[in-house]
Structure 1
Amino acid sequence: MAFDLPLLDGRQTPAFIDPAGGLAWLADLPLANPTEAAARLTEQIGILNRHPLEPGARRALLDALAPAIGELQQSLGQRFIGKPLPLAVAEQMALEAALALGRARVDGYLRCVETVEPGPNSALALQRALAAQVDVQQILILARRQPGASHWRTLHGLIALAEQQGVVEQEVDVPGHSHLITPLAAYGAALLIQAAGPHEISQRQLPWMLRWARRWGGKLRLLSSPPTLMDALPLCVALGGDRPPVVMPGKDADSRYLDTMALRKSIKQRMAQLEQGVAPGELQLGDDCPQPACGQLLAQLYQRWCKGAMPRQQERNAGSGPCPLVPGLAAAHYQLYGRKILKQPVVKSVEQLRQERERMATFGTSQFIQKDLVAEAHPEFEPEDAWELINASATGLRLVRPAATTGARIGPGRLFAVVPPGAKTYTLAMARWLLTETDGSLHVGLLLLPGPAIPVGVRTEAKEALRPGFRLPPAAAGEASSLILPPGSFRLGRVVEVQEGGKTSQCRLTALLSRGDDHERAGYA
């Protein structure tokens, strides 16, 4: 396979051509400015990629640069990972710098693949190229972006070449790893990451999934026909295509199947041991994975990796048409209360109260009377009309906002007011996941909250101002009602003052049901 690489013209002289020279050059990089440092290193790797070098020497040089590349990408990642979408300008620049550096490294290893002779050295080059491509995929996933067609075309082309040369399961040494790794292990990791449905995994749990996928990619087997035992459904790819893995059997001559039986056995054993109280760290899942979140994610991945997909509780139907969306707690409160904002009650002096009584007795009214909720124009609380419906179920919606469309930045857990298909009034919803597609469009998965939601004013401390909130009915029979509160409000047993329709009640918080980036949902008594 011919890869899309820059011409090997050697017009520019690289600053270094061996590991020692590369490490010396790295010592002068301005690491305090990772964007500039990444740009300079990307430039040098690009020059190296156009400079003639023996494949073994090129690979050794890229291996020597790998730790510095990883550190720079980690520093850049702090600027865009977990940020609301679409990214701000500085965040987008950091992402593009991390991707450019990673792709330059991939091109370097692809150059090795193109020029090396088949055999053990080609297995080394193929494993390195596959692993570097997975590194790029990991950056995209952490930024909530979808890998494009060229990404999959490169991955499939590399494993097809490994198959042709008979080195798919050839074990090679990898710096920094205590065990040998095969080209198939790196390729398998890429497929597992995509099959996990990473955009639906929380930012906290995403690093766990990425680590497990890379560790367990070697448990897959590459087959040219479907496995005879189907206790675990295989992942299917077309090696000549540019699509991610699917579960349905392929019909093309270049279709391959990734058998997940060994992975299924390994995950089931770990799930059983977790249920028996064994710590996740003892099962090589990581000391940063506490229970029960660890077991919950593992069960979710078991369904996606070995059973084809997560079972859906409600049928999802395709849809289309505009779907007005109001982002944020304050804006949702404004819309659900008839385009009014919460006003603080006037604190009256003794003299004002005396005058009010006199006016009430004389005229039947008083200039000091003030409504708690006053109609006002607030353009920042108006709905966004650019959102379009993709599909819907009884409890959720998938919406898309086209690229280059002006709108609010959105983070996972954001509260919304939305008008579902066929409805005439707003319903509260929470963003479960976000994803930027390859065309730049922003997709969001919304979880519809129980309704109808009643807008209220809430106060968690005696002297603080009233803040917007909602009272929600039970989600199902036998469940309790809940409150939507501003972030930071929940404390077990805290008594919250709730003002609704001119009446004040006291609610004791009993459980934190969910937490978003701009609200908390709590049970109360």
Structure 2
Amino acid sequence: MDYRNAAECLNLLHRLHASNVDETHAALSTVVFGMLDALPPPNQHLEVLEAARPMIARVQAEMSRRYTAQPLPPDSLENEILLRVVTLWRNLARSYARIVRHDARDGTLDDQRALLFQRRMHYAGQGVVEYFRAHRAVPAGQWAEAHECFAAAEEADLAQIRVADSLNEVWKAQSTLEAYVAVLLVDLANPFGRTERELAWICRWAQRFAPYCALGTPESQKPTLYGVDLGADHGLRPLGLLPASPRLRRFDGSTLAGQIRAVLAQFKQGLKPASLGLGEDCTVEAGNRLLLSLYRPWGLASAGRRFPRRGSRGQVELTGDWLAIGFHVDGKVFTQPRTYGVASSLNSDMNLLTFGERAPQADDPARREALRQHEAEQLGFVCEQWEILDQSVGGFRLQQRPRAERLEHHQLVGVRPQDGDRFLLGHVSWLMYRADGLLEAGVHVLPGVPSLVAARPVSLHSGRSPFHQAFLLPATPALKTGPSLVLPSRWYHPSAVIEIHVEGKSSQVRLEQLVLRGANFDQVSFEALPPSVA
């Protein structure tokens, strides 16, 4: 078959079925590249591209699902799939750009120029977003291509003209400006800190909310507002960090802030996310939580860092295993409290038989550390070493060439700096692979030095149910935080009662507010119940 012939390509598109994703993707990629290389008449080229759009969207989505569940290492087998997906996005963007240039002499598609610019911008933006989906650093030149697509439409005075777009789920239409803003919104949403499901919602919502944003000149604006340099090779930055340039544009999301407030108010009135254009697969709770996290970056301005980062060197010990965290926090393996009964005694006996009688704590710190490391090796609780790139009071930016343990977003971790005496609790706030194969991670440290406690929900049968490992974080007056519990995932329910066992004593607490919900933990505030109430 001649993939350079428009008529034959159209016949092929009518025969293709997306049941075999790999074959269909290969055929579509060949059609797009063949047309790009052949330079057919602009109207025929456009007809082929428009006919292929729906199937390309479906097949690209199926291909990307193979690598979006976890951050994608550059040396993995799935990396080849990412490159194939991105290549198709970029070839589509170049195809529409080629049609504009090819048609400049004849002007047969003058009435379609706004559509050509919008399509080009959409596909160039998808190339950037695909790296967000894979949690990979955006390669050099990719942002510059996206900026150039918008700049070309702006120069032609066609950036704000809406054209029909059946792939836009909410509006069924989009302008080049809106396609560009949608990419900028995804960039502002901390994409490397989102799960696969959250990022899918964010990409959809960016299309939904893009019409409420604007780009303008940055005259006399606050340095904390966001801006983008159309001549640079990166996304949005606070204006105060960008040098003056005639290609500098100010991002204005003030109208969008009002829209987000309106949606949050409608949630309170009982409206469902689907009725608000947020998707059938989104719950009120999840939608409310995600929109709240997007309110400031999308609608207001850069918040600035609460705790400034400083360059730092050294290493930290880190583990994401729940039992290993407890071991390193408490210095011993979690066991059922003795008041629990026979099981506790049996557990203790098994522990003694397996690991021997526990040696008394050594006074010498070096000796104590050696004992901890030795027992951790016996138990399989050895921590991995991560290199510090920079740090602040609030956490660390780390890097490592990944080994055995795989982390996930918002997972609880135990972390101890090289010069620290105690393990602290933290959670993974973002993950991103660099092109050289190193994995970067942001770890937010939970305030306070944790202690290990035994916990179980109180119910009619709680006297027979086992305790679980949990953590108690003390109040931190300097940060205006009260005491909190870190419990296993989904334990939090408003006013739920939890039995806590610490140092041979049991007490009950009532859960108050959910402070933080992670992938495998709930951090909650609580109030102690007097014995009479308990």
TM-score normalised by structure 1 residue count: 0.77
Q: Is the 8 A contact 1:487 1:518 kept in 2?
A: yes
Q: Is the 8 A contact 2:73 2:437 kept in 1?
A: no
SS of residue in 2 equivalent to 1:149: coil
- In 1, Cα distance between equivalents of 2:158 and 2:443: 45
- In 2, Cα distance between equivalents of 1:295 and 1:499: 34
Q: Pairwise mapping of residues 100-139 of structure 1 onto structure 2 (< 5 A)?
A: 100-117=87-104, 119-139=110-130
Q: Is the 8 A contact 1:416 1:431 kept in 2?
A: yes
Q: Is the 8 A contact 1:345 1:370 kept in 2?
A: no
Q: Pairwise mapping of residues 377-416 of structure 1 onto structure 2 (< 5 A)?
A: 377-378=377-378, 380-393=380-393, 396-402=394-400, 404-416=401-413
Instruction: Give the corresponding residue for 2:143.
Output: 152
The Cα of 1:47 is off from its aligned counterpart by 3.4
- In 2, Cα distance between equivalents of 1:88 and 1:190: 27
Instruction: Give the corresponding residue for 2:320.
Output: 327
Instruction: Give the corresponding residue for 2:51.
Output: 64
Residue 177 of structure 2 aligns to which amino acid in structure 1?
Answer: L
Q: Is the 8 A contact 1:472 1:484 kept in 2?
A: yes
- In 1, Cα distance between equivalents of 2:257 and 2:89: 31
Deviates more, 1:47-56 or 1:36-45: 36-45
The Cα of 1:66 is off from its aligned counterpart by 1.7
- In 2, Cα distance between equivalents of 1:236 and 1:492: 41
Q: Is the 8 A contact 2:316 2:418 kept in 1?
A: yes
Instruction: Give the corresponding residue for 1:189.
Output: 182
Instruction: Give the corresponding residue for 1:452.
Output: 449
Q: Is the 8 A contact 2:336 2:454 kept in 1?
A: no
Write out per-residue CA displacement over residues 287-315 of structure 1, whole angstroms, 9 at most, x where no aligned residue.
66665765665565453245431254434
Instruction: Give the corresponding residue for 1:264.
Output: 254
SS of residue in 2 equivalent to 1:323: strand
Q: Is the 8 A contact 1:457 1:468 kept in 2?
A: yes
Residue 441 of structure 1 aligns to which amino acid in structure 2?
Answer: L
Deviates more, 1:52-61 or 1:124-133: 52-61
Write out per-residue CA displacement over residues 220-251 of structure 1, whole angstroms, 9 at most, x where no aligned residue.
5554x4346x4897643333332223232655
SS of residue in 1 equivalent to 2:431: strand
- In 1, Cα distance between equivalents of 2:58 and 2:26: 14
Write out per-residue CA displacement over residues 26-59 of structure 1, whole angstroms, 9 at most, x where no aligned residue.
22x543xx34543443344333432332233222
- In 2, Cα distance between equivalents of 1:466 and 1:99: 49
Residue 454 of structure 1 aligns to which amino acid in structure 2?
Answer: S
Deviates more, 1:73-82 or 1:487-496: 487-496
Pairing partner for 1:517 from 519, 523, 529: 519
- In 2, Cα distance between equivalents of 1:472 and 1:455: 9
- In 1, Cα distance between equivalents of 2:357 and 2:463: 20
Q: Does 1:46 align with 2:8?
A: no
The Cα of 1:104 is off from its aligned counterpart by 3.7
Q: Is the 8 A contact 1:232 1:264 kept in 2?
A: no
- In 2, Cα distance between equivalents of 1:369 and 1:81: 41
The Cα of 1:204 is off from its aligned counterpart by 5.0
SS of residue in 2 equivalent to 1:377: helix
Q: Pairwise mapping of residues 1-40 of structure 1 onto structure 2 (< 5 A)?
A: 13-14=2-3, 17-18=6-7, 20-27=10-17, 29-31=18-20, 34-35=21-22, 37-40=24-27
- In 2, Cα distance between equivalents of 1:368 and 1:124: 71
Instruction: Give the corresponding residue for 2:426.
Output: 429
Residue 17 of structure 1 aligns to which amino acid in structure 2?
Answer: A
Instruction: Give the corresponding residue for 1:99.
Output: 86
The Cα of 1:131 is off from its aligned counterpart by 0.5
Closer/same/farther in 2, CA of residues 283 and 122 from structure 1, 3 Å limit: same
Q: Is the 8 A contact 2:90 2:124 kept in 1?
A: yes
Pairing partner for 1:226 from 218, 223, 231: 218
TM-score normalised by structure 2 residue count: 0.75
Could you list the runs of 5+ residues in structure 2 that have no partner in the other structure? 360-371, 529-534
Q: Is the 8 A contact 2:376 2:382 kept in 1?
A: no
Instruction: Give the corresponding residue for 1:243.
Output: 234
The Cα of 1:146 is off from its aligned counterpart by 3.4
SS of residue in 1 equivalent to 2:520: coil
SS of residue in 1 equivalent to 2:386: coil
The Cα of 1:254 is off from its aligned counterpart by 4.5
- In 2, Cα distance between equivalents of 1:241 and 1:42: 29
Write out per-residue CA displacement over residues 413-468 of structure 1, whole angstroms, 9 at most, x where no aligned residue.
21211124753321111112223345443222222224321224456666666654
Pairing partner for 2:416 from 394, 410, 419: 419
Q: Is the 8 A contact 2:473 2:486 kept in 1?
A: yes
- In 1, Cα distance between equivalents of 2:304 and 2:286: 19
Residue 3 of structure 2 aligns to which amino acid in structure 1?
Answer: P
Q: Is the 8 A contact 2:74 2:437 kept in 1?
A: no
RMSD over aligned CA atoms reads 4.2
Residue 189 of structure 1 aligns to which amino acid in structure 2?
Answer: A
Closer/same/farther in 2, CA of residues 470 and 103 from structure 1, 3 Å limit: same
Instruction: Give the corresponding residue for 1:167.
Output: 158
- In 2, Cα distance between equivalents of 1:167 and 1:484: 53
Could you list the runs of 5+ residues in structure 1 that have no partner in the other structure? 1-11, 357-365
Instruction: Give the corresponding residue for 2:470.
Output: 469
Q: Is the 8 A contact 1:193 1:209 kept in 2?
A: yes
Q: Is the 8 A contact 2:5 2:40 kept in 1?
A: no
Closer/same/farther in 2, CA of residues 389 and 378 from structure 1, 3 Å limit: farther
Deviates more, 1:422-431 or 1:275-284: 275-284
- In 1, Cα distance between equivalents of 2:490 and 2:404: 26
- In 2, Cα distance between equivalents of 1:55 and 1:412: 46
Closer/same/farther in 2, CA of residues 288 and 459 from structure 1, 3 Å limit: closer
Instruction: Name the % identity.
Output: 24
Q: Is the 8 A contact 1:400 1:441 kept in 2?
A: no
The Cα of 1:401 is off from its aligned counterpart by 1.6
Instruction: Give the corresponding residue for 1:5.
Output: none
Write out per-residue CA displacement over residues 334-384 of structure 1, whole angstroms, 9 at most, x where no aligned residue.
22233x4345699879xx99xx9xxxxxxxxx9999869994634742222
- In 2, Cα distance between equivalents of 1:367 and 1:162: 74
Closer/same/farther in 2, CA of residues 489 and 259 from structure 1, 3 Å limit: closer
Deviates more, 1:325-334 or 1:301-310: 301-310
Closer/same/farther in 2, CA of residues 253 and 138 from structure 1, 3 Å limit: closer
Residue 515 of structure 1 aligns to which amino acid in structure 2?
Answer: R
Q: Does 1:505 align with 2:506?
A: yes
Deviates more, 1:327-336 or 1:175-184: 175-184
Q: Is the 8 A contact 1:328 1:518 kept in 2?
A: no
- In 2, Cα distance between equivalents of 1:410 and 1:36: 33
Q: Is the 8 A contact 1:264 1:302 kept in 2?
A: no
